[in-house]
A = this chain, B = another copy of it.
Amino acid sequence: MDVKPKVNGDLKDDEDNRRPAAIDGPTNPMVTPLLTDLYQFTMAYAYWKAGKHNERAVFDLYFRRNPFGGEYTVFAGLEECIRFIANFKFSKEEIAFVRESLSPTCEDGFFDYLEGIDCSDVEVYAITEGSVVFPKVPLMRVEGPVAVVQLLETPYVNLINYASLVTTNAARHRFVAGKSKVLLEFGLRRAQGPDGGIGASKYCYMGGFDATSNCAAGRLFGIPLRGTHSHAFVSSFMGTDEIIQKSLRSHDGSSVCQDFVSVVHTWLSKLKRLSILKGVFGETNQSELAAFISYALAFPDNFLALVDTYDVMRSGIPNFCAVALALNDMGYKARGIRLDSGDLAYLSCETRKFFQTVEKEFGVPDFGKTGITASNDLNEETLDALNKQGHEVDAFGIGTNLVTCYAQAALGCVFKLVEINNQPRIKLSEDVSKVSIPCKKRSFRLYGKEGYPLLDIMSGENERPPKVGERILCRHPFNESKRAYVVPQRVEELMKEELPTLKQNRERCISQLEQMRPDHMRRLNPTPYKYME
């Protein structure tokens, strides 16, 4: 079936320019036309009964407040929305279920109508995915027959809300961690359900993370995967006696070490005898040592060890170094260690010193730079605290706080009717921040001399758009006292005709975030970005 909505742009195949014949369905096969609130069907029936179902309606999708106490949001989830409407069609079984769920007095004609609908008459205008966006400015404008567009409300808001929230959260973590750090998303096990996990992996990557532990997401989206071993792996070993197969071929294939275990033990003795390390450690844990050796024998060119199952400085680090030095003898370079508990600032600095000592004492080039990964309930605050204390961590693995958006678990996107049959519509409210802005709008981002975006401005569809170098009076839609003259140096229309790949969206997200005026981006008490009309 080639149902093609009038989307501006089309999905491009990853990496090359082959265009798919039709747009694939949503990543999660559970995203069907039934994934909506019952009231969308009761309304569809009432529209149909009143003969209004084909009236042309315009809905704006937007949010009212930036999340996490910040002054920006990253827009994400659009591709899934497009995949959804490109394949929107009710099956007979779904229609039978809708019939059961509505009143027995509903007329048959309605179900025939439902069977016939698709989204070929729906137009979607949207800000490009991965863009930095602000409250009240529409992220998407959806136009089409009122009954059909109404059915899209719930899945659209669902697909945008969490996607944008978690992308923003990832961007905020990246901002605090700094550009030079490797950020790994480790959240699958704590995510809100299976595709809370899969969505998190996709959107954290978009928001600037480098890799994920989630294999399903790696496969679906081509995200780099990372992961080595857990505490259970360490404690499943008893001691080095149980290692049967002890041989290791050298990296260049030229020789085979028949007893790698002995070489490790020798290195451990050498480390212990080093006068500079005297008293730092005594007997290390043998179950841990056996686990590290086994892991190194399995992955000699990718040896990364979790060092905190027993005692980081007295067991984990010496055991790691012994194995890493034995690997070094065979031409392999160990990847590094992971810390998953304790005082990460202190332990990472102590570990770095230990590595530097090994480099110096045994003349192993770059051993001092061996990678240090940290995990254990990290979030923006703990990253910020680590920065302030000073640390030697190269890579952060972040899970729970990132994927569940623990600091604020929901974004409040809404989907509001702004026009029907060319008549503007408004929802009033006693709370002025909840009043919707009527009419079909265009929106523009105005840039100043320094290249920073100055403000976003909305105008009626037929108003003259802002022009570079022209003075424009910008008014706040609900606050007459807020007004300003602006002379933009660059004007960018926000709803564009493109639908790029995840990697392109990721690059846009990262570059747009870098382009923002720094005071809008501060973690605490940032300056609000302006929107006007």
A-side residues, CB < 8 A to B, are 26-32, 34-43, 45-47, 49-52, 55, 57, 59, 94, 97-98, 101, 103, 105-106, 146, 150, 153-155, 157-159, 161-163, 166, 186, 188-199, 213-216, 218-219, 225-233, 235-238, 242-245, 294-295, 297-302, 309-310, 341-342, 400, 404-406, 408-413, 415-417, 420, 423, 425-431, 434
Contacts and interface: CB of A to CB of B under 8 A. Distances in A.
B299 A46 contact: yes
B30 A162 contact: no
23 contacts: A29-B30, A34-B219, A35-B215, A39-B213, A43-B232, A45-B298, A49-B298, A50-B244, A51-B245, A52-B236, A52-B242, A59-B232, A98-B215, A105-B300, A150-B233, A153-B189, A154-B189, A161-B189, A162-B191, A192-B196, A192-B199, A231-B416, A341-B429
Contact of A28 (B49, B146, B193, B341): B193
Contact of A215 (B31, B38, B51): B38
A476 to B, nearest CB: 22
Copies in the complex: 2
B228 A42 contact: yes
Of the listed residues A45, A55, A192, A226, the one surrounded by the most CB atoms of chain B closer than 10 A to its CB is A192
B97 A215 contact: yes
Given A38-B226, A43-B229, A425-B236, A50 B298 contact: yes
Contact of A159 (B50, B161, B194, B431): B194
B101 A420 contact: no
A341 B301 CA distance: 60
Given A197-B35, A235-B417, A236-B57, A189 B49 contact: no
B188 A161 contact: no
Contacts of A309: 427-428
B231 A427 contact: yes
A351 to B, nearest CB: 16
Contact of A51 (B40, B216, B244): B244
B227 A42 contact: yes
Contacts of A42: 227-229, 295, 298-299
A42 B338 CA distance: 15
B423 A194 contact: no
Of the listed residues A188, A215, A297, the one surrounded by the most CB atoms of chain B closer than 10 A to its CB is A215
Contact of A233 (B46, B155, B294): B46
B195 A154 contact: no
Given A47-B233, A231-B416, 11 more contacts: A30-B195, A30-B198, A32-B216, A38-B226, A51-B244, A97-B215, A103-B302, A158-B194, A162-B191, A190-B410, A406-B409
